[in-house]
Structure 1
Amino acid sequence: MLALYIRDLRLNIRAGGGALVGILFFLAVIAVVPFGVGPDLNLLARIGPAILWIGALLAALLGLDRLFQADREDGSLDLLVMNGARQMLAFTVFVKCLAHWTASVLPLVVAAPLLGLFMNMEPVGIAAATLTLLVGTPAIAFIGAVGAAVAVALPRGGLLVSVLVLPLVIPVLIFGVSASYGAITEPDPFLPPFLMMTALTLFFAVLGPLAAALALRWSAD
């Protein structure tokens, strides 16, 4: 599985600069917000955690359709589906999700503190938003694996993947933003929404690969 992780990591890095495109999209979202809400620095600081989360979420959706596409094109996906048991295939999907998150989503988390400065956020707010992104964004990859598996046989399934995945990641977004606000707003707690978001990530880490494995077997049949 380590070899599979390294292989998928290299494929994601070589696949046309997916991480760079995601960061540029993330930056574009942050850059256009002041034009929409005005130059009020206090307002930008208040909505900063929500904007960081929305930007990271939308940027993370960009490359989900490529999660299984390369394996389908070279035929290795059929071998994985035919040779592996259901549990083994689910674990393979889990490893592929981790590789995709490392190559495409982790750079967004690394870029979040710098973009938080553009939003005039406090250091505590930047740290909280970055921590919630680090813990919460893997759930996007695990949920996205289900949408990518459903749309892998479709010729142009990129938009379908986003449509399928976006409603499912809303709870992660809600708890991530709530935890970020809890770190900078005195009456609001940080730990309860953070723990709920962590529980959602762990839940989707189990359910997502299993559902994606079933979808891959269904598409192969």
Structure 2
Amino acid sequence: MTGLLLKRELRLALRRPAQALLPLVFFVVAASLFPLGVGPEPQRLREMAGGVLWVCALLAALLSLHTLFEADAQDGTLDQLLMPPHSALRLAVVKALAHWCGHGLPLLVVAPLLGLMFGLPAAELGVLELTLLLGTPLLSLLGGLAAALTLGLRHGALLNLLIVLPLAVPALIFGSGALAAQQAGQSLDGHLSLLTALLLFTGLVAPAATAAALRIALS
């Protein structure tokens, strides 16, 4: 059942390629503007790369989070997906996983190319990829929770941003901090450990909270 539900979500995402590509295009364009704005000095670009790429990845992920449950709620599919024997918890997990596959994974593919534009060497590109690998699923999980909490509300997209942004700040700090530590020759184990702990905690708590919010929204 879980595999069929995930296959359905990915198939629906492929039918809306423009919606799937919008965050990726935003990520590339926004990150590409910084070298034009601050100048081509290699050392300066290298120092700011972690913060810039993480902020752009965060904002790109936020572009599509509010639509996670919206279409299914409007056509009545969401009611069917929450009826027994279906599980709201399973739906929350699958929705977050499908969002990451459609939006987070492309960011991971493009990030090394943007990192090269900022002059990052291979070791720092590896750290950037590792932090995004740990951080982007966390954004999808938080986005699913916010989308469930704002389901059916007016200005839900804006409320979604207000909910996710404060919760995502620790991931932004530890993700960009790991790259800064690598550049300074310091240990990045602390940053990676905290980022991993955030992902594990969010993975345990967010799906259950999302499932509860969905039941409340449709009750």
TM-score normalized by the length of structure 2: 0.94
Q: Deviations over 1:24-70 (max 9, x none)?
A: 10111112112332222110011111111111111011110111112
* Counterpart code for 1:74: D
Task: Judge conservation of contact 2:88–2:214 (CA < 8 Å) in 1.
Answer: no
Deviations along 1:130-173, whole A, 9 cap, x unmatched? Answer: 11101111000101111100122125411221111010011111
Give distance in 2, aligned partners of 1:199 and 1:18.
31
Supply the distance in 1 between the matched residues of 2:183 and 2:71 (Cα, whole angstroms): 43
CA drift of 1:16 comes to 4.1
Alpha-carbon distance, 1:183 to partner: 2.3
| SS in structure 2 at match of 1:83 | coil
The 3-state SS of whatever aligns with 2:180 is helix
Secondary structure in 1 matching 2:63: coil
* Distance across 2 between alignment mates of 1:144 and 1:84: 25
**Residue 220, structure 1, aligned to residue 218, structure 2:** yes
Residue 40 (structure 2) pairs with residue 39 (structure 1): yes
- Structure 1 length as normaliser, TM-score? 0.93
Structure 1 segment 149-168 matched on structure 2, within 5 A:
149-168=148-167
Which residue pairs with 1:29 in the alignment? 30
2:36 & 2:114 partners in 1: Cα distance?
16
What is the alpha-carbon distance in structure 2 between the residues aligned to residue 83 and residue 143 of structure 1?
A: 25
- Asked if the contact 1:12/1:104 (under 8 Å) is kept, the reply is no
Alignment partners' CA distance in 2, 1:178 and 1:70: 37
* 3-state SS of paired residue (1:17): helix
Alignment-derived partner of residue 196 in structure 2: 198
| Coordinate RMSD, CA, aligned | 1.5
- Of all paired residues, the percent bearing the same amino acid is 40
Distance in 2 between residues matched to 1:112 and 1:16, nearest whole Å? 20
Aligned length: 218
**Uncovered stretches (5+) of structure 2, i.e. residues with no partner:** none
CA drift at 1:125: 1.0
